[in-house]
Structure 1
Amino acid sequence: MPGPPTHPASGPRELPGTGRTAVVTGASSGIGAATATRLAAEGFDVVLGARRMDRLTGLAASIGARALPLDVTDPDSVAAFAGALDRVDVLVNNAGGAFDANPVAEADLDSWARTYEVNVLGTVRLTKALLPALIASGAGDVLFVGSTAGLVSYEGGASYTAAKHGVHTLAETLRLELFDQPVRVVEIAPGMVRTEEFALNRVQDQDRAEAVYRGVREPLVAEDVADCIAWALTRPHHVNVDLLVVRPRAQAAQHKVHREG
């Protein structure tokens, strides 16, 4: 009769990201900061990029990462950032945001331009700069933090939904263009995520910002999205998570949110 099953000897295991360098943009707060923290815990050598170096250096020190100034809307800043990197295996394009909630009839075109510049052009600018290194790594990852706003439109959200639709199309196009290269292209599209700054930056009023989440039982938090990002990036490299949509249970769709009380 066969004997009992044998198991490999227990001992320390190499973390999934060991030896890989991951760049995270918009890393000074919210999803970016949570993602940087999680990837560092997974063994990645994390490089943080953002404009607010005071926040960035504190986070970098706490998680054992490297902080570099980065403004994705500034070509010189992007060039300096890319030039400071010896290698890149993972790029998490997280920098972005929404800056108004106006209907199209009252569109602030300066806000539209800012939204597109940060979310789309800035993402293209950095991706273009780092793509040679990602290909040269032999197992690169480009991950876009999109939004359900890039899949479904809604009233008062045109500037942001237009930009995030652009990010979604960017990810789809890049995946087609890199089909014969050793680079995965991943998009994570969160729904309602409660962070310290997103809604406030959009409506510029604390009460209105809090009203976005009022009565919603357990909206997503930044760490939930970071968990999804880390999961996608730590799959075997032949597995490409093209698009992962993640919402809180209370949000069945863009317009269908259960609010208690």
Structure 2
Amino acid sequence: MGWRQTTSALSKEEQAALLDELLQSGLLLEEDRLLYSMLMPDRVKRMQEVLDLRTNHITILTEGVDDPHNQSAVLRSADAFGVQTLHVVEGRAKFKPNSIIAKSADRWVDVVEHPSIEDAIDRLKADGYQVLATALSEKAVPLENLDVSKPTVLLFGNEHHGVSERALAKADGNYLIPMQGYVQSLNISVAAAISLYDVTTRARHVVTDGYGLKVEEKQRILKNWMVKSLPKRSLGVYKQKGLTAFARETGKTE
């Protein structure tokens, strides 16, 4: 069985144009051309298309979300709405998403773990983010009124206790999702999906510069995605022995 198992839908001219575009734009480094050659061009083109819609202008911070189903659903929503990074402060349970629920979103979204909620908020604020927590309070702003022109972190708390008092004290503000029923709360996975849809949709129209990822970020992520997309056999060789052995054992050269 060959390393490529299907035929590319792209013509040779389209494949050459794609490679040239990736190299010229800086998304693909010369040193990674061999890695690129191990994948279907169609696959890499799809990665490029997704990266063009990715953002870190909006990001998520979860505090003590213990249920793997909820962890997975939040990851899936992040991927669906183009949010590249999920920040996590673990609670009683380790952050271990359910791959079936996540639908492989854990492969495409960067997860950054923090030792404490204070550390997470301090670091994100130092990076220029405003931190907005989900909480029912007199000062809570309706979701649709949030200022999304600024880099924004949406903070979600534990399934049962919500965002902690420590987190609320350090957050820049809090918001709520207006509801018309008797129940005034939503499961975290639902709240995250609704919130992300609203803020990413509005931010794409409001932020004219800086909504998308920088070239350096895209470059790092593209390489990471390409490695994760390698067949198991070639991935093992690549990780254990490096690119030279990878080329020798797969018979691939530039």
Same fold (TM over 0.5): no
- Using the size of structure 2 for normalisation, the TM-score is 0.36
- Using the size of structure 1 for normalisation, the TM-score is 0.35
Give the strand-richer structure, 1 or 2: 1
Say which structure, 1 or 2, has more relative contact order (CA 8 Å, 6+ apart).
2
Give the helix-richer structure, 1 or 2: 2
